[in-house]
Structure formats: structure tokens, C-alpha cells
Amino acid sequence: MSVVRDVLAKIKATDPDQFEFHQAAEEVLSSLEPTVQKHPEFVKAGIYERIVEPDRALQFRVPWVDDKGNVKVNRGYRVQFNNAIGPYKGGLRFHPSVNLGILKFLGFEQVFKNALTTLPMGGGKGGADFEPKGKSDGEVMRFCQGFMRELEKHIGADTDVPAGDIGVGGREIGYMYGYYKKLRNEHTGVLTGKGLDWGGSLIRPEATGYGCVYFAAEMLATRKESFQGKTVAVSGAGNVAQYTIEKVNELGGKCISLCDSSSTIVDPAGIDRDKLAFVMQLKNEQRGRISDYASRYPGVSCYVGESIWDVIKNHGLKVDVALPSATQNEIDGSHAQALVKAGCTCVAEGANMPSTPEAIHVYQESRILYGPGKAANAGGVATSGLEMSQNSMRLSWTREEVDQRLHGIMKSIHKACLSAADAYGRPGDYVTGANIAGFLKVARAMHAYGVV
Ligand code: NDP
């Protein structure tokens, strides 16, 4: 048996219920096979066995009090996966589905993604099985404070720097940072995604969406194409989806969809700047449902209980580019087949692992451009890295400066993916390229440290 197959078998036997983690590990490790032959020193040093095991996984109780005075309890986590090349870095997710397996998948992906950014950041992820939807600001604040009461013992500007993810945006980061500051009496870069007046970076809110579009534009350019005139399907309606649409509009494309966990809207006329401003107000301020968009604008269809990928499959919509920006495993093999049939030639993942292995197989067989999340959505964490640099220097860069750096980083990630794919015999394969380029940097550092 190869070392890669041994490691995968061990993961599955040890933690049989962590399906998302198995999926992520299998995707990464199977593409690392070519490194096994080229780097016997990594095999000897047990790098493949060690890289799939988090440095530590913390689990804790989060008690809080709701508006009626009832005591509630949620489960909080922080998975500190690997700090070989820098402090642990990765978001916090608040969603009822959160469990250790999902956070291990996200933390594992983050290790390779962060290495790809060229910045010195290790990988981690955390969160809680808390549902912010339907809670008052006061309830969210008390939950965030309860969460930070424990988390503050384990994080620090040079140790572990969390950020946002699903269910954690500017409001939640504010409550958590405010409480950290109160507990520790220090104003330091311990969280990213902060507000501009208290240590945040310009362009951080935009960075994941903008970065994903920059990456997709680089992929399209390899086929002498661009976003100009393209019809684009976007899923999600949160942070990533919103700024993805803003950048596609800027580059001359037309985004026709948004969805949340209740429904999908399709607007054939395109989601222009004014409509996007409405979505931002609806989602970020009123915390409403995307179906309201269909009541407000004429000619818009609303599909309750269907994702945009279901709509493409069931109702035969035509799209040129797909930018999934909601959650893991939202596109399965049949959705991917429907996308190819719909004329889609490029998929770039704003979300983490939105495509199942069957979907990825369809993209690869059909030879459409496919940018996996760990490369395509790395702009968010890269700009978090830039926020950390500004915090350390106690300086703020301009919007143009941060955007220019983000754009440069996305281009260099794109180039690194293609170079590694070429060097390891899989030209044009962004999955292999991203995994190998990220892995080599972390593996070399782990090797240098000896067995620790
Ligand atoms: P948000 O919480 O801002 O938005 C998530 C959106 O996706 C919401 O509209 C939500 O709908 C929808 N959604 C969540 N789960 C489901 C589901 N099961 N089915 C359908 N829709 C769903 O999160 P982000 O935009 O920050 O994150 C989106 C994705 O991007 C995630 O995979 C995240 O890990 C990834 N990502 C985010 C980064 C960032 O900087 N924020 C960085 C890199 C990756 P509803 O409101 O109904 O829950």
C-alpha cells in the first residue's frame, strides 16, 4: 500500500464519522502521490501522517442567556491544525451544522490555502453550533461574549488569529473583539475582519469575493476569454456572494442568481449595482430572506427549496461561469453535468469545498476550467494577512494599495498552481497544482523542525 492510502485508511478508521474531513483529506492526499516519489525525505519523516493530524482540537461549553432570561448552552471549538509556517489563521463559523469533522475539514484546507497566499500563516478553524438567524443583537452579543470567554485563553496575535466565516461577520467580530479587549486589556491584531475604526483593513470585506473573481479572470485569460458579456451563476447571499457580484459587474459580466438556505432567485436582467445595494441592506442590516428580492423586482423568479444548481438542472438555465459561494457540497455530480450542459466553461469556488468529488470528476472529464476553493477563495485570508501586517506596523494602507496587493496575490496563486501542476505532470490541473504547491511549503518547514 502507498503511504497516501495508508494514511487515508487510518483517518477513516480512527474517526469514522468525520465525513467532510475524509473527503478533504482524500482530495488533497490523492493529488500528493507524485510528491511521494520525488521526496522520500518527507516519507521518512512521517510528514504525510503528521500533516493530517491537527496540532490540537479544543472543544468547550458556551453558556449564554437569551432575551427571556433562559440559560442556553452551545458547543464551541477551535482546531489549531498546523503552525509550521506562521500563527494559526482561519475563520470562525456559527451554524447549527458545525461539528468537529466539519471544522477539521476546514482547518485542513486552510493549511494549504494559507501556504498558497505566500504569507506566513498556519491553518486553523473554529466556531460553534450556534444559529445566529432569528436571534436579537443582544442574544448574539451575549453568545459571542460567552464564546470569547473561553477562546481568549488559546489565541493571540502571534499564536492564533481567527476571522469570520458563515454566520460570523462584522457584527460578531465586533462583539468578540470588544470582549477580548476587555478581558485582556490589550488592543492587538488577535482577530481579523475588524471594523475600519478599530484596526480593520480596507478591502477585507470585499476580499474573498473580489479574489475569487480575480482568480477566475486569470483562468479565463488562459483561454483568451474574460468576464465581458458572460452570464454568471452565483450561490449564497452573504459576504462572499455579494462582493463576487460587485466585481463581476465591474468586469462586464452579468450575475443572474443568489440563494440562501430557503430559496433561490433568478434575475435574467442581472443583479446590478442598485439591486446589489438592496441585497446588502436586506442581508446585512435587516437579516431578511432572499425571497424578498423577487417581490421587489419585476421579472425575477423565486424557487423555494431549490438551490441555483437545482434550478439549472431542473429548469435548463444557460450560464457561462459558476461561482459557488454558499457552503460545502452544494454541487453534486448531477448538478455538474447540468452545468456543463448549460454551457458553463468555468467554475471558481468562493465557498470551501462546494463541489463533491463526483462534481470535480465531471469538471475534469469535460475539461472545463476548475479553480478549487483553496486557491480561488484564498483572497479572504490573504487580506486578513495584510490586516495582520498593518496591525503589527500600526499603519493603514489605502484601498488601492490593499486591492493591488490582493490582485497580485491572486495572480501569483494562479501562477503557482499552474507551475506546480506542470512540474508534477498534470498541466492545467488546478487541483493538483494548488495541493502540491501548498503542501511543499508546509512540508519543507515541518521537515526542517525535526519530529515535533
Ligand atoms: P455568510 O454567512 O455571509 O453567507 C453564507 C450564505 O450561504 C448565506 O446566504 C446562507 O444562507 C447561505 N448558506 C449557508 N448554508 C447554506 C446551505 N446549506 N444551503 C444553502 N445556502 C446556504 O458566509 P460567507 O459568505 O462568509 O461564506 C460563504 C462560503 O465561503 C463558506 O463556504 C465559507 O467557508 C467560504 N469562505 C468565506 C470566506 C470569508 O472571508 N467570509 C473566506 C473563504 C471562504 P442563510 O442566510 O439562509 O444561512
Report, as an integer, the average pLDDT of 119-132: 98
Q: Within this chain, do residues 245 and 148 fall inside the same structural domain, yes or no?
A: no
Residue of the nearest CA to atom 16 in ligand 1? 261
Q: Within this chain, do residues 312 and 172 fall inside the same structural domain, yes or no?
A: no
CA distance 232 to 209: 13
Residue 127 in contact with ligand 1 by CB distance below 6 A: no
Is residue 327 in a domain?
A: yes
Cell of 348: 471558481
Is residue 400 in a domain?
A: no
Reported as a single tens digit per residue, the pLDDT across 221-268 is 999 999 999 999 999 999 999 999 999 999 999 999 999 999 999 999
Is residue 408 in a domain?
A: no
Residue 372 in contact with ligand 1 by CB distance below 6 A: no
Give residue 429's pLDDT band: very low, low, confident or very high (50, 70, 90). very high
Q: Within this chain, do residues 161 and 251 fall inside the same structural domain, yes or no?
A: no
Q: Within this chain, do residues 132 and 41 fall inside the same structural domain, yes or no?
A: yes
Q: Within this chain, do residues 113 and 183 fall inside the same structural domain, yes or no?
A: yes
Residue of the nearest CA to atom 40 in ligand 1? 380
Q: Within this chain, do residues 50 and 183 fall inside the same structural domain, yes or no?
A: yes
The C-alpha cell 488601492 sits at 400
Integer angstrom CA distances of residue 420 from 287, 417, 432: 42, 5, 8
**DSSP summary character for residue 284:** I
**Cα 93 to averaged position of ligand 1 atoms, centre (Å):** 9
Q: Is the pLDDT of residue 1 over 80?
A: no
Q: Within this chain, do residues 156 and 36 fall inside the same structural domain, yes or no?
A: yes
| Domain termination site, one of 131, 156, 187 | 187
Q: How many residues are listed for the chain in this entry?
A: 452
Q: Within this chain, do residues 323 and 272 fall inside the same structural domain, yes or no?
A: yes
Reported as a single tens digit per residue, the pLDDT across 369-396 is 999 999 999 999 999 999 999 999 999 9
Q: Within this chain, do residues 341 and 214 fall inside the same structural domain, yes or no?
A: yes
**DSSP summary character for residue 165:** B
Ligand 1 closest atom vs CA 106: 34
Is residue 381 in a domain?
A: no
Reported as a single tens digit per residue, the pLDDT across 322-338 is 999 999 999 999 999 99
**Cα 361 to averaged position of ligand 1 atoms, centre (Å):** 24
Report, as an integer, the average pLDDT of 20-42: 96
Sequential DSSP letters for 381-419: HHHHHHHHHHHHHT----HHHHHHHHHHHHHHHHHHHHH
Reported as a single tens digit per residue, the pLDDT across 197-213 is 999 999 999 999 999 99
What CATH number is associated with residue 50? 3.40.50.10860
Report, as an integer, the average pLDDT of 112-139: 97
Closest alpha carbon to 151 in 65, 85, 87, 80: 80
User: 18: domain range?
Assistant: 3-187
Report, as an integer, the average pLDDT of 148-168: 98
Report, as an integer, the average pLDDT of 104-120: 97
Q: How many domains does the chain have?
A: 2
pLDDT for position 177: 98
Reported as a single tens digit per residue, the pLDDT across 2-12 is 899 999 999 99
Residue 211 in contact with ligand 1 by CB distance below 6 A: no
Q: Within this chain, do residues 355 and 211 fall inside the same structural domain, yes or no?
A: yes
Reported as a single tens digit per residue, the pLDDT across 263-322 is 999 999 999 999 999 999 999 999 999 999 999 999 999 999 999 999 999 998 999 999
Reported as a single tens digit per residue, the pLDDT across 127-142 is 999 999 999 999 999 9
Report, as an integer, the average pLDDT of 336-365: 98
| Domain termination site, one of 367, 384, 419 | 367
**Cα 67 to averaged position of ligand 1 atoms, centre (Å):** 26
Report, as an integer, the average pLDDT of 341-359: 98
CA distance 263 to 413: 34
**Cα 325 to averaged position of ligand 1 atoms, centre (Å):** 6
Residue 90 in contact with ligand 1 by CB distance below 6 A: no
What CATH number is associated with residue 250? 3.40.50.720
Integer angstrom CA distances of residue 336 from 286, 394, 412: 33, 46, 28
Q: Give me the active site residues, please.
A: 125
Residue 244 in contact with ligand 1 by CB distance below 6 A: no
**Cα 97 to averaged position of ligand 1 atoms, centre (Å):** 12
Mutate to test the pocket of ligand 1, among 239, 335, 386 (most ligand atoms within 8 A of CB): 239
Reported as a single tens digit per residue, the pLDDT across 50-91 is 999 999 999 999 999 999 999 999 999 999 999 999 999 999
pLDDT for position 2: 87
Residue 80 in contact with ligand 1 by CB distance below 6 A: no
Is residue 385 in a domain?
A: no
**DSSP summary character for residue 285:** I
Residue of the nearest CA to atom 30 in ligand 1? 351
Contact 373, 349 (CB under 8 A): yes
**Cα 389 to averaged position of ligand 1 atoms, centre (Å):** 26
Contact 330, 354 (CB under 8 A): yes
Residue 325 in contact with ligand 1 by CB distance below 6 A: yes
Q: Is the pLDDT of residue 354 over 70?
A: yes
Ligand 1 closest atom vs CA 240: 25
Report, as an integer, the average pLDDT of 182-188: 96
Residue 74 in contact with ligand 1 by CB distance below 6 A: no
Query: Angle at Cα 237 formed by Cα 369 and Cα 431, nearest 5°?
Result: 25
